[in-house]
Amino acid sequence: VHLYGTLVKVIEIAKNNKGTIKVLLEGKSKIYLEQLEEAEDILYATYRMLVSTDMFESNLEREIAWKNFLKYYVKYQIVNRRVSDAPEPKSFSTEDFELSLDIVAGNIVVSALDRQQYLSIEDMFQRLSFLINYMNKEIAVFEIEEKVKFNLQSQLEKIQKEYYLREQIKAIQKE
């Protein structure tokens, strides 16, 4: 059980032929779990809703930060194939800045610890910075992996060419 989470509304519950249950949820609010009690196999929670703060000094500042964020997100989508089902950046808006940030956070692949840290941040600017830093690290890791792959491939090709040339020389010397 984590201290930070999302209060949700159950929209739909469906059971398919294979017995799998599918649940459609709608996020309502970020919450902090204050107390958890169990009675007769039922968990009861006391929580408080987390209210986001907006530390942007102007709409222009928010707009600039958002455009910068979208650049990282687009690049992150390109390098990380696991976010292919994520909404397209053009579907986000600065009108519902917080919701758009939370949608992105929910679609990027992060650890439970990172998700807890994200949910604990009440200021939208700090949340935006958290996501940019996360995506930036992931992009850097991907670029390093690609560079290593390229170097290995080049080295293998060089070794194969050298082997082929040695075999050709041996064949010529036999003749």
Amino acid identity, residue 75?
K
Indicate if the pLDDT at residue 35 is higher than 90: yes
The reported pLDDT for the residue numbered 94 is 61
Lowest mean pLDDT among 23-37, 79-93, 136-150, 153-167: 79-93
Distance, in Å, from the CA atom of 60 to the CA atom of 62, rounded to the nearest integer, reads 5
Of 56, 110, 101, the closest CA to residue 83 belongs to 110
Q: How far apart are CA 174 and CA 167, in angstroms?
A: 11
Express each pLDDT in 93-141 by its tens digit: 666 778 888 888 887 867 888 888 998 898 888 999 999 999 999 889 8
CB 12 within 8 A of CB 25: no
Place of tokens 């919701």: 99
Q: How many Å apart are CA 99 and CA 166, to the nearest integer?
A: 63
- For 5-16, write each residue's pLDDT tens digit: 888 999 999 998
Query: What pLDDT sits at residue 79?
Result: 82
- pTM (predicted TM-score): 0.69
Average pLDDT, the chain: 86
Q: What is the pLDDT of residue 85?
A: 59
Choose among 52, 134, 31: nearest CA to 97. Answer: 52
